[in-house]
Structures are given as C-alpha cells and as structure tokens.
Amino acid sequence: MTDLSGKTVLVTGGSRGIGAAIARATAAAGAHVLLHYAKSRAAAEALREEIGAASCHLLSADLAEADAASTLWRDAEAQAPRIDVLVNNAGIFAPAPVTAPMADWRQAFAQVMQVNLTAPAELCKLAVAHFRQTGGGKIINIASRAAHRGDAPDQWPYAASKGALVALTKTIARGYAAENILAFAVAPGFTETDMAYVGMTEADISRILSEIPLGSMAAPEEVGALVAFLCGDEVRHMTGATFDINGASYVR
C-alpha cells in the first residue's frame, strides 16, 4: 500500500464526490490533507471530522473568482510550509447550447474555463514555483473522458477545458521532470456522484449505462485509490501520462 506519511496533499473541490474520495484515500495512506471547498462548508466539516481534524485542514475559496487560486495557495502555504502534492479536482458543468444567444454562450464558456482550466493552471504555476524551492512535488489534474472523445453538444466548454487540462499536464511533465516535478492526469468517465446526475433523466442514465461495457459507472473510490497511488513514488517514469477510468466506454 502507498505510504504517504509525512506528505501534505492539497485537494481542490474536496468536500464531495471524487474530491472527497481522494481526500479519504490520501488521508488513509497517511497524508495530511488540505481540503478545499467552495460553498459546501457543512459537507467539508463533516469530512474533516470523519478523517480526523489532526489530518485534515479546511480551506475555502470560490475558484470562479479571479485571483481565488492565488489566495487559496497562499492559505495552503500558511497551513503547511511544504506542500508535496497538488490535486486539481474542482470542476463545474455549465450547458452552452449552440442555439443560445451569444452573450449567454460566452458567459457559460468563460465560467467553465475559469473554474476548470484557468484556476487549475494558476495553481499549477504556483505549485511549480513552490516545488522548485522544496526539491520537487507532484501535480495530479482530474480531467475527463470528454478530453479524448468529446462530450454532449451543449457541453463544449466542459470538453474543451478538460482537453486543455490534459495538454497542460503533459507540458508540465515534459518541462519540469528534471527538477523532480511530476505531473499526471486522471480522466474518469461517468462516476457515481451527484454531479453525474445533474439534468439527467432515467432514459439518459439508461443510455449512459448501456454505453459502458462494465455496465455501471465507476465508484469515486476507484478514482481516489488511483490518485493516492500516484501521490507516491512507485511510478515516477509515468509522469505525463493520462489514466482512464471509464469501464472501457472509451479505449485509446
């Protein structure tokens, strides 16, 4: 089992779903977790109590706001002078139908890009600078199956943001491996979270499941287990890789 004792892991969007599973898995492996949340304070507090207050510190920031990423990183460094792993998990959906008025479409696109790409990129920038001073570290970006196969017609922003996040991860891996800074992307397909069911009908869910050869959505715990493993040092030479978790619904 991966041993993360003595390591500090910053997880964005950590109060629910995949983020909460990552927080649990890394804490179970011995890490101290800096758990970021935006609005779900009650859920974040409950998770902190579950993990144990000594192993989990809460940080609040709305990554939809400009400069929120810088504030979050500054608060994280105040709690832990050495951060070993950044996990960019926070993300949103905002439908942008091609039939929408341009102003509305542009607003949805910008909102998704801010949360799903710009804020993670800013955190990556700050993490690289931090890791250069501390002897190295890891960045794990939670992307999506949509980065490779695309998404629904009204989810252009989401697919574009996740595709860009994968490219960003590869660029970081290539650029900073010599400085012991490693980067990985994880690309889940549909996962059993509240976010997966937003706007879904029973017919939608049945169709989705029919497209997954395993016949079910992934559990958040599967993603959490993989991320905890990547936080360790067992697969350093896989830096730059993207790991798919989609039940063979999209095989590259």
Interatomic CA distance for residues 34 and 58, integer angstroms:
6
CB distance 33 to 14 below 8 Å: yes
Q: What number of other Cβ atoms are within 10 A of residue 98's Cβ? A: 8
Residue 59 pairs in a beta bridge with 36
Both tokens of 111, joined, read 């909102």
Mark whether 158 is an active-site residue.
Answer: yes
Write the secondary structure of 131-154 as one string of H (helix), E (strand) and C (coil).
HHHHCCEEEEEECCCHHHHCCCCC
Is the separation of the CB atoms in 187 and 242 below 8 Å? yes
Query: Could you say which of 158, 176, 197, 250 is catalytic?
Result: 158
Separation CA 87–CA 199 (nearest Å): 27
Short-list 81, 66, 72, CA closest to 11: 72
Spatial separation of the C-alpha atoms in residues 2 and 35, rounded to whole Å: 20
Strands annotated E in the chain = 8-11, 32-37, 56-60, 85-88, 137-142, 181-188, 242-245
Beta-bridge partners for 34 = 10, 57
The tokens of 45 are what?
């507090």
3-class state of residue 9 by DSSP: strand
Task: Kindly list the catalytic residues.
Answer: 158
